Amino acid sequence: MVEDKILTISGIGKSFGGLTILKDISLEVEKGERIGIIGPNGAGKTTFFNLLVGDIKPTHGKIFHYNKNITKQPNYLRAQNGIARTFQKNNLLNELSVLENLLLVLQRRQGYGHKWFNRREEKQYPDLYLKAYELLETWGLSHRREVIVKSLSYGEQRQIEILLGIASDPSILLLDEPTAGMSQSETNYIVKLLYGLPRELTLMVIEHDLDVVFGLADRMVVLNDGEVLTVGEPDTVRKDERVNKIYIGTGDED
Amino acid sequence: MKTIVFKLVTVFVLLGLAPLVLSLFHLNLLSEILILAIFALSLNILVGFTGLVSLGHAAFFGIGAYTAGLVSLNLSNNLLVSMGASIIVSIITAAIIGAFCMRVSGFYFLMLTLAFSQMIYSFIYQSTNITGGSNGLSGIPNAVLSGFEFSNAVYVFYIVLLVFLATYAILGIIVKSPFGQVLIGIRENELRVKATGYNTSVYKYVAFVLAGAFGGLSGSLYTYFNGFIAPSDVYWTMSGNVLIMVLIGGSGTMLGPVLGAALFVILETVVSSYTDSWMLIVGSVFIIFVIFFPKGIVGIGQSLMRLAKKRKLKYDAKRKSKAA
């Protein structure tokens, strides 16, 4: 049954010098599962993601993608193998257009990244452009196609951040606070898009907006102080006193 | 593709007429501009498109120049042989230096390229029995191609022009290709490009070798043009000069480095006929560009075009309202 686990995280931890950020995290993720990750600031949520995508290497512990040990695999290979992430802070090619941002992701996925002796234009790569237009259409960004990313609104940039993650056609998508800094209406729009993602896509979502994450997730992981406080279904976790104490209802009882 | 070929042929014909109208002095000036333009274009692949600022690019210019000179002197003065040797030796050198330089970025990359190029400089400077040392390499025979000798400035000019156009066309396609777009992505945000699944180190390495190859090519042309090579052509000030050409012209554009090389050579020639401290003027021009026109000559051109367009729109609107 091990084959079903798209990710197996076994006892990973990360220390920077004497400072321990993550202690000993173990988690098994099923294919198609949607996992919400919550926890107070400094709980180690983003560090956890950075370990999974390979931006940093764990101090101890192992990570398996299906049965393959990917603990030492560099980040670009993990991305090629279908582990994609979005960043907590927008991390885009700001001086390029929306379309150019998207094409860079798509051309990698279609295996055109190393082609060096013809221009990347619609005539040469019709399938590439068609796919890009399709995605922009679905995401309601067609009219912003030629706009330079830095002149988009924050919410639109956030949307592109997520779109780029999905465009790489991953099997697991790690979303780091997808609705951070967005207005309520923008949040609603993003949430609708996230709900509409195909069920076979495995999602891991760090989110501060608890309504968003409880609605989306099949299973919640609560991190606190570099450790897993509890794992469980959203309803159970919502009622968990410890969770309420550290995260949700602080100040209620005191 | 057809339009590119058409443009190239037009430019070739126009520039090809230069020997008929220009004096020998000015023709040589034009040849020098085109050679340095190739050199600047090659550096622009690194600085302008990949975002790697190298302060050691003269190493490749020098290696190309000395290889062409030494091959012509000792082996064969066939143009294709010496030029091919220059490119191959440059590629090998770039592959070795690049393997080290790719491990670092930013300021450290700049310092490491500088260190390597100065090592090559001191090797050339001290290997008196091979390179002539501080005396330079002289007595290099004219290049020959299937019995035709490139014996005068006009012949050399045509070969320079041909290589320049080929370089411009090839690099112009590469930077627009999917590969080139990855380089631009690395310049803009390497972390994002990595997260997208590109092994950015490999892309940067290829860019480095590519820049080295074309840098060496320009060096070999300089040997045919000058018939003499001095070690100062490998000195770090040469790296600084070509960096200035790229930045003044407009880095990250194709036309920029060419205009930058032209302005540099013209400034050097014109100003140095009046005063020995011509570098002072070049320096001032550079400072003015960096502060007021960071996008270089090409940037100024673009701004003017935009302004003209706005004016025209305004004018059209006015006329319309008057008519109404």
- Any bridge partners for residue B57, and if so which? none
Task: Tell me which residue in B173, B195, B196 faces A119 most closely, judged by beta carbons.
Answer: B173
Task: Please give the structure tokens belonging to residue B180.
Answer: 């080139």
User: Are B247 and B231 spatial neighbours (Cβ–Cβ below 8 Å)?
Assistant: no
- pLDDT tens digits for chain B (324 residues)? 667 788 888 988 899 999 999 999 999 999 999 999 999 999 999 999 999 999 999 999 999 999 999 999 999 999 999 999 999 999 999 999 999 999 898 899 999 999 999 999 999 999 999 999 999 999 999 999 988 999 899 999 999 999 999 999 999 999 999 999 999 999 999 999 999 999 999 999 999 999 999 999 999 999 999 999 999 999 999 999 999 999 999 999 999 999 999 999 999 999 989 988 888 988 999 999 999 999 999 999 999 999 999 998 888 888 888 887
Nearest residue of B to residue A117, measured between CA atoms = B174
Cβ–Cβ contact B135 with A under 8 A:
no
Domain tally for chain B? 1
In a domain, B159, yes or no: yes
CATH of the domain at B179: 1.10.3470
In a domain, B306, yes or no: no
Task: Tell me which residue in B173, B174, B181 faces A104 most closely, judged by beta carbons.
Answer: B181
Report the candidate in B175, B222, B183, B215 with the shortest Cα–Cα distance to residue B202: B183
In a domain, B196, yes or no: yes
Cβ–Cβ contact A162 with B under 8 A:
no
A176 to A82, A172, A209: CA distances (angstroms): 17, 13, 12
Distance CA B216, CA B39 (A): 8
**DSSP 8-state class, residue B17:** T
Task: Please give the structure tokens belonging to residue A93.
Answer: 């090619």
Give me the sign of the Cα torsion angle A203, A209, A210, A215: negative
Put simply, whether the predicted model's pTM sits higher than 0.90 gets the answer yes
Write the DSSP string, A74-89. Answer: -HHHHHHTTEEE--SS
Per the document, the length of chain A is: 254
| Residue A24 phi, psi dihedral angles, 5° rounding | -165, 80
Pairing of strands A19-30, B144-145: unpaired
Contact between B197 and A74 using a beta-carbon 8 Å cutoff: no
For B33, the domain range is: 2-292
Contact between A112 and B197 using a beta-carbon 8 Å cutoff: no
Report the candidate in A108, A172, A168, A58 with the shortest Cα–Cα distance to residue B199: A108
Q: How many CB atoms lie within 10 A of CB A12?
A: 22
Residue ranges and CATH numbers for the domains of chain A are: 2-91+169-248 (3.40.50.300)
In a domain, B309, yes or no: no
Distance CA A150, CA A132 (A): 19
Pairing of strands A34-38, A19-30: unpaired
What value of ipTM does the predicted structure carry? 0.91
**DSSP 8-state class, residue B68:** H
A34 to A110, A202, A254: CA distances (angstroms): 27, 6, 34
Nearest residue of B to residue A81, measured between CA atoms = B197
Q: What angle do CA A129, B51, B197 make, to 5 degrees?
A: 45
List of residues 6+ apart from B288 with CB closer than 8 A: none
Distance CA B133, CA B142 (A): 21
Contact between B195 and A53 using a beta-carbon 8 Å cutoff: yes
